[in-house]
Structure 1
Amino acid sequence: MVMALALVGLGLATARPAHALGKGRACMFNATEGANGLGHVGWAFRVGPADDWIYGATESASWNWQRESNYATMLATFRTTNGRGYYDHFRCKDTTNSSVTAAKNKVNQVYSRPYNVVNDNCLTRSVEIFKAYDSSFNNLGNGIGNGPNWYYDNQLIGFGGRIYL
């Protein structure tokens, strides 16, 4: 019994954290007219190489949401959430790794915290989720003190151009 526990402990000590499913992709969705013209954002990340996405947003102090579906359903969801046209475009970045479990855990963590319009909001939470998903996002600023539209237009280092919904 002691030997078995020792072997289990050794296995845990030498196990590497999983960069779970290889290459990934993450997207930030923008609602330019949200928050009285300062903008509003949502987040999305791909689960492995398949057409499977986890996505969501902090819409307000009392409303966080997340879903999992294919790419087409994700786009349809963002097209219609808060009324057709509220989310109007998005930008994406391919990643070399995708730590899906870490990102899902971060979603649960940020959604469990009290909302704060200045430093714990739709933007800062989206950035935290991206950073948990892949370390290539560590060069992104945390979003504190930035309007979502300004951040979306100026701070998404390595993200592609706008894709309109």
Structure 2
Amino acid sequence: MSRITLPAASAILPAARAGSSRGLRRAVTAAVGLALVGTLAQAPAPAAAAVPGRVCMFSYPKEPSTGRAWAGYAGHVGWAFKTGPDRWTWGSFLPAKSPWASSWTWVATQGKFRQMGYSSFRCKDTHRMGAAVATTKWKELLGTRYRLLYNNCLTTSVDIFRAYTTELGSLPSGVGQTPNRYFNGTLRHYGFGGAWPL
């Protein structure tokens, strides 16, 4: 805090020139008040508090619309992140059209994933919420080509989580891992909660 500087005595005495002690007290009180107001006006504004967030990964144990024998082993995942009070953006990266939406309530988000065939989800609370950055990342990923091993539903979900907050920067990329294994094992080691059924 800045040091308070009182006006010089020459500025106070004229107000109490008549010799009245009451006048002197009033003049001193007014001078101190002005000095305090000036000090408060110069004080820096407190930093804005970080807005907490939340991310969730949704599991579809059997990879949808593939017909491949190994699909049940590999699985499929989708993602969602909080954008405000009871507002979420969600989506999933697929070889064909990738579904996504924003400004949904949490109840509506769960209902949509349930409708699409997902069975459970895991979530993690974060100290910061970078919804705009994560949304930009998702739009960038939408313009890329689906690659089975290194640009798929899992790797894009992780990329979005990392963009959402630096707290999730240590999440493994998911390259070379199956969605089922990542959802059931890896997430638990990085602070995600238990799997909740839809």
Same fold (TM over 0.5): yes
Structure having greater relative contact order (Cα 8 Å, sep ≥ 6): 1
Instruction: Note the residue ranges of structure 1 that are not aligned, 5 or more in a row.
Output: 1-18
Query: Which whole-Å deviations, capped at 9, do the CAs of 1:67-110 have from their partners, x for residues lacking one?
Result: 120001001100011xxxx2000000000001111000001011
Pairs aligned (count): 141
Query: Is 1:162 the counterpart of 2:195 in the alignment?
Result: yes
1:20 CA displacement: 10
Instruction: With the length of structure 2 as denominator, give the TM-score of the two structures.
Output: 0.69
The separation in 1 between residues aligned to 2:167 and 2:160, in whole angstroms, is 12
Residue number in structure 1 paired with 2:57: 28
Q: Quote the sequence identity (%).
A: 37
Secondary structure of the corresponding residue to residue 64 of structure 1: coil
RMSD: 1.6
1:160 CA displacement: 0.2
Instruction: With the length of structure 1 as denominator, give the TM-score of the two structures.
Output: 0.82
Is the Cα–Cα contact under 8 Å of residues 31 and 39 in structure 1 kept in the other structure? yes
Secondary structure of the corresponding residue to residue 168 of structure 2: helix
Rg (Cα) greater in structure: 2
Instruction: Note the residue ranges of structure 2 that are not aligned, 5 or more in a row.
Output: 1-47, 65-70
1:32 CA displacement: 0.8
Residue number in structure 2 paired with 1:111: 142
The separation in 2 between residues aligned to 1:96 and 1:20, in whole angstroms, is 10
Please state which structure has a larger fraction of its residues in strand.
Answer: 1
Residue number in structure 2 paired with 1:6: none
Query: Is 1:127 the counterpart of 2:161 in the alignment?
Result: no
Query: Which whole-Å deviations, capped at 9, do the CAs of 1:91-134 have from their partners, x for residues lacking one?
Result: 00000001111000001011110110110000000000000001
